[in-house]
Amino acid sequence: MTIRVSELGNGLKIATRSMPHATTLSIGIWVNAGARDEHDNEQGIAHMLEHMAFKGTKRRDAQAIATEVENVGGFMNAHTSREETAYYLRLLPEYLDLGVDVLADILTESTLPVDEIERERGVIIQEIGQSLDTPDDLVFDLFAAACYGDHTLGRPILGTVDSVSAFSRRNLEAFLQRHYGARQMLVCAAGALDHDDLARRIEKRLGTIGDATFAARQPANWAAGRQLVKRDLEQSHIIFGLPTAVKNIVDRFSLMALSTLYGGGMSSRLFQQVREKRGLCYSIFSFAALHSDGGSFGVYAGTSATQVNEMLSVCAGELAAVASGVADCEVERAKAQIRASLLMNRESVSSCADALARQIMLFGYPQHDSELLDAIDAIDGAKIAALAASLVGADAPSMACVGPSLDLMTNDSFSAKFSAS
């Protein structure tokens, strides 16, 4: 599998992973703009623009966009995150021209029809309502607010009912012009394709688009905050997290290994100690949420309101224990899981395209599998323990909870549990 990256004269980058064994391909355009890049009066506009891209161009209406792709057995979708928006298709190789044309069309020729704006506004308001009614969704939005306060990283990607209700066509056009330029986009594809052939097709359709007036992102400060919402539920849904940053590929995989052995599966410390040994929850897992200049390492759990504090104490104790050292067998198990996950994902053209795009968006360059496997091999217990110690030493947890009782320990009390363990 060969990875290549090239750049058109207008600054648009093209990255591919050719997979000789593949019989399909995945192609998408990643835009370096997301919820983080919204102005105060634009909460949710990146996500709304993602919806509107499929609602009509100068040559196709909404039905034609969907029908042309599905007529040839293709699949089309998009997503918005805090720092990027992606539009992608999966197709048979003989329909690559159609895929390139549709993607170019929706991103450069979208007409943003007023009637479709109103219809999609209603759809997104329903989506917001569904999220608010789903506690294990809501708690992640609350956690973002607890971590970053009023910064745009702390806002819900969907926006609010009030903000979405206020968007006009002019607002959408302004965000589009500010962020959807050649140097802010990355065309990424994987599967049965040739890089030079794809580059020629992209040059033909996107080689003349101009740059955008992209503004530098404002750095985020860790708020170490607390967001609690009382709801009449059977369980309390809780997240705690600590600030982290990844400076290189070894740090990245060490963080993955920490998450894996601490709370990443049935053999992890949290699963064994919190669920299996004490029966304090059904679902618990750790995660890392990284962005371009920082991130968080956190734990989600759903537990009885009367057992929240006991669960938090156990979690703090286990992270402090990892900081004191980890067994070789735990390290090797985590490395095996990460290595297997990497190689299994390489069997999917969609996963390969997405991974390649994320590497370039986050680190600025593609990472070859040999480099990734070497970084996994370089993980050791000392690195994992040091990383856990840096998290514990940050002494700045953020906490979020949705549940029937808000009687949970303070952030300071929780922080003290790390040193008391």
Assigned domain for 218 exists: no
Contact present, 317 and 303 (Cβ < 8 Å): no
Q: What is the predicted pLDDT for the residue at 216? A: 80
The predicted structure's pLDDT at residue 363: 84
User: Of 48, 18, 313, which is closest to residue 164 (Cα–Cα)?
Assistant: 48
Indicate the residue among 156, 171, 206 that finishes a domain: 206
> Given this model, what pLDDT does residue 3 score?
96
- DSSP at 153: G
| Residues in CB range of 140: below 8 A, 6 or more apart | 239, 300, 400
Answer whether residue 58 is part of any domain.
yes
Residues 77 and 178 in one domain: yes
Q: Which domain holds residue 269?
A: 226-420
Token pair 């059977």 is found at: 234
Write out the two tokens for 346: 């390489």
φ, ψ (nearest 5 deg) of residue 82: -75, -25
Q: What is the pLDDT of residue 165?
A: 97
User: In terms of domains, do 132 and 177 share one?
Assistant: yes
Please give the pLDDT value at position 199: 98
Domain count, the chain: 2
Structure tokens at 311: 């669960």
Q: What is the pLDDT of residue 420?
A: 63
- pLDDT for position 10: 96
* 243 and 183, same domain (yes or no): no
Residues 185 and 258 in one domain: no
Tokens describing residue 79? 């997503």
Residue 211 lies in a domain: no
User: Per the domain annotation, does 256 fall within a domain?
Assistant: yes
pLDDT of res. 419: 78
Cβ pair 108, 176 in contact under 8 A? no
> For residues 402 and 232, what is the distance between their CA atoms, to the nearest angstrom?
9
pLDDT score of 357? 96
Give the type of residue at 291.
H
Cross-strand bridge partners of residue 229: 402
Residue by residue, DSSP assigns 219-260 as PP-----EEEEE---SSEEEEEEEE----SHHHHHHHHHHHH
Q: Is the CB of residue 411 less than 8 Å from the CB of residue 226? A: yes
Q: Looking at the structure, tell me whether residues 347 and 231 fall in a common domain.
A: yes
Instruction: Evaluate whether residue 219 is within a structural domain.
Output: no
In a domain, 264, yes or no: yes
Crossing angle (nearest 10°) for helices 328-345 and 381-393:
90
Domain containing residue 405: CATH number = 3.30.830.10
Q: Are 172 and 234 contained in the same domain? A: no
Query: Same domain for 308 and 416?
Result: yes
Helix, strand, or coil (residue 194)? coil
Edge to edge, the sheet with strand 281-291 lists: 226-230, 398-403, 236-243, 294-303, 281-291
Predicted pLDDT at 56:
94
Q: pTM here?
A: 0.94
Backbone angles phi, psi at 123, to 5 degrees: -60, -45
C-alpha 28 chain-centroid distance: 16
Pick from 206, 234, 261: which residue ends a domain? 206
243/362 same-domain check: yes
Number of residues written out for the chain: 421
Q: Are residues 68 and 185 in the same domain?
A: yes
Which phi and psi (to 5°) does residue 30 adopt?
A: -100, 130
Domain final residue, candidates 175, 206, 237 = 206
* C-alpha to C-alpha distance for 115 and 175, rounded to whole angstroms: 19
Q: Is residue 261 part of a domain?
A: yes
Residues identified as active-site: 50
Same domain, 171 and 303: no
pLDDT of residue 249: 84
Please check whether residues 39 and 79 belong to one and the same domain: yes
Residue 288's CB is within 10 A of a number of other CB atoms, namely 16
- The DSSP annotation for 155-170 comes to S-TT--HHHHHH--HH
Determine how β-strand 13-18 pairs with β-strand 185-191: parallel
Same domain, 165 and 44: yes
**Intervals of the chain under pLDDT 50:** none
DSSP state of 271: I
The reply to whether 10 falls in a domain is yes
According to the model, what pLDDT value does residue 292 have?
A: 87
